[in-house]
Chains A and B, each alone.
Chain A
């Protein structure tokens, strides 16, 4: 494809501009939208986070309140005393049985009763507390042993389960006499956290302990014990530096998430509660937007392609057309009259200019052709003031015309000088014949009379001499009639007709009309005489005619002559074969005087010769 280059250029520029605009707008738009979306999602996460935090706090607070109430009732004190007094009957004792009831009522997982020496007095499940918990507890409660507190014992757990205990002191007379450890059923907290309404498929809230270990079960790893999962994320680090907040960051899985995080407000717990959603999910609306943008970009490129194709075609086609024209011109040919672009843009103007160029060249070519064809009267208007080619052609025409005219003149001059010389020579010959030989014969004839011979012989000799004189006259008349010199064309032709009629018996209707009084130019006279002589000779020799019309009309502008016979005529072939030379002489004579001779003939219908000889023929002297 020859227009590939313009097409490519247009396509590239269009695409570049289009894409640049689209991408810039897209990026700005996308970022703005993303920012807004992140902010909104974070707001949402934040409120969920607060909600969860408060739910957890409330739950813990309520449990603590319940235990507080039991403490105020001295419920545990009673149980303690019962256990001390009758450990064996514990199973049947009503108060001891209450422990199980309490556990069930408040949905605690386990209940353990110890004395101050860490001696287990009662337990709903003996093993369900970690080793060393109590000794650690001692150091912790040293300051204020009378307060109920929450203990996160997960770090001490044998497994990686989350262990949460309430420490409930048994106080008698302001003295600590025993301890109740209530193991919280963490599933209930877990339930609060697992409530993921409005969190999509990747949103979760979870709790991280001060050891950077997960406390709640991960939504993503439901079968993994939380203590195994280490959460040393930016959120957690910030929180443990007491900087709650929100943002886009990496979670414990290393996945980019939107995160809102707070500390659980509890004197005994160092817990971070974190609500997160995968950035990928949060950004989903934006992702579809991004897809729209990609589709839009592709469509735009397609559109650009089409527009560019149409546009480049519209631009390139006239240019190619112009190129064709210029190529044609450069090969020296004339382009056809194709429909040029009629637009008014630069290409249209270029088309006009080229059309002008073509027309100018065409005009010049026609002019040159005319000159080449010998038409030196062809006129030409120069294409502009400085049209060098046109000027040269005009000069060439003028020079050729001059040359042609001189040539024509000299040809005519030579031919007519030749004819004139011939006529002059003829004049001289007839003089010699007529006046010389003729007169001599006359003299001889006279002298015969003086001879001393018989009269019969004299008469014989004189008759013979007369015949000789007649022959001389006949010959000299044919060479040139004296009459044309002395009396002009009409007289000469009249004599010619008389002679012709006398010898051949043909009736000649001779008519010579001079439209005005003057003496016809001798050159024309002698030529016309020769023409008629030739014509009449032809008629006498070939035509087998009985009547001849010879009319001459001597007008101011030309001499018109018509010579018509009623003979047998001839065909074009005969003209070439027989009558040729005589008729050719007639034509040549006429043409030498710038005149013309037309010969019409058909077998059986006679022959007509028409001759026009212009006056002021401009013949060379």
Chain B
């Protein structure tokens, strides 16, 4: 049984290149080609492929935009992103949207074949460069220098809780706006919250302020 592949890329020559690359392996069968995201959405249910190789940068609808929709439309379809982008946001976004593989377009033929087979068998596959970036993202979690809230930070926090603006707090404590904001950012970090409301709530929970 051949692995049915749908190829989506806005560049016909790229499609042609990958098609000829994949045609060399008898296990693969190109069942369709799409020039953009919308075409892909229209075509995919018709051809019902096992694997969809999809580029990110495409006119009308980008690859990232269609990933989730495709997963819904065709249960069991495996999605592999094949792109020029190597920034972590694209990789993470693609993974979130259900991509099982993330490959850069300068991939070698044997590696592409290996990736398709791995994904088809239920695994995941990433280009070595992508793996590096992912590893960085995981191994370098947001630096969280937790520690005790300093008296000055507590002072700032109390004034924030009373509804004072940064400018007012700076004037009241006789320090610069920059220092106040630093204190605030440090506390947001320490409390692992994202905004002032959360900060105050957490501070009250922890009985730092009343």
Contacts and interface: CB of A to CB of B under 8 A. Distances in A.
Contacts of A359: none
B17 A447 contact: yes
B195 A516 contact: yes
A515 B194 contact: yes
Contacts of B118: none
Contacts of B197: 515
A134 B89 CA distance: 183
Contact of B17 (A446, A483, A491): A446
A513 B142 CA distance: 12
B185 A513 contact: yes
Interface string A482-508: 110011000100110010000000000
Contact of A509 (B136, B143, B195): B143
Contacts of B166: 560
Contact of B106 (A466, A498, A560, A608): A466
A513 B199 CA distance: 12
Interface stretch (B66-74, B80-88, B119-127, B201-209): B80-88
On chain A, which size bracket covers the interface?
A: 35 or more
Q: Which of B85, B89, B105, B194 has the most CB of A within 10 A?
A: B89
A435 B84 contact: yes
Contacts of A494: 88-89
A443 B84 contact: no
A608 B195 contact: no
A615 interface: no
B144 to A, nearest CB: 10
A363 interface: no
Nearest to B188: A513
Given A498-B136, A551-B185, A608 B88 contact: no
Contact of A439 (B14, B87, B93, B178): B14
Contact of B84 (A434, A446, A610): A434
A438 B84 contact: yes
B38 interface: no
Contacts of B185: 511, 513, 551, 553, 562
A450 interface: yes
A553 B13 CA distance: 45
A505 to B, nearest CB: 14
Interface residues of B, number: 38
A132 to B, nearest CB: 145
Contacts of B142: 511
Interface in B111-143: 136, 142-143
Given A486-B64, A486-B89, A610-B177, A449 B105 contact: no
Contacts of A551: 181-182, 185
Contact of A434 (B57, B184, B194, B196): B57
A443 B89 contact: no
A469 interface: yes
Dominant secondary structure of chain B at its interface with chain A: helix
A514 interface: yes
A445 interface: yes
A442 interface: yes
Contacts of B10: 435
A473 B84 CA distance: 9
B154 interface: no
B28 interface: no
Contacts of B87: 481-483, 491, 495
Contacts of A466: 106
A469 B105 CA distance: 10
Given A513-B188, A514-B194, A439 B88 contact: no
Interface in B1-39: 10-11, 13-14, 17-18, 20-21
Interface string A446-476: 1101100000000000100110010001000
A449 B194 contact: no
A610 B11 contact: no
A511 B187 CA distance: 12
Interface in A564-616: 608, 610
Interface in B85-110: 85-90, 93, 105-106, 109
Contacts of B18: 446
Interface string A533-559: 000000000000000000101000000
A449 B106 CA distance: 12
A435 B90 contact: no
Nearest to B198: A515
Contacts of A481: 87
B158 to A, nearest CB: 18
A603 to B, nearest CB: 19
Given A439-B105, A442-B84, A553 B89 contact: no
B20 A450 contact: yes
Given A513-B188, A560-B181, A445 B106 contact: yes
Contacts of A473: 84, 86
Q: Which of A434, A446, A462, A498 has the most CB of B within 10 A?
A: A446
B129 to A, nearest CB: 10
A482 B182 contact: no
Contacts of A462: 106
Given A494-B88, A494-B89, A515-B197, 5 more contacts: A465-B106, A487-B93, A498-B88, A553-B181, A562-B182
20 contacts: A435-B10, A435-B11, A442-B14, A443-B11, A443-B14, A449-B109, A473-B84, A481-B87, A487-B93, A494-B89, A495-B88, A498-B136, A515-B197, A516-B195, A551-B181, A553-B184, A553-B185, A560-B166, A562-B182, A610-B177
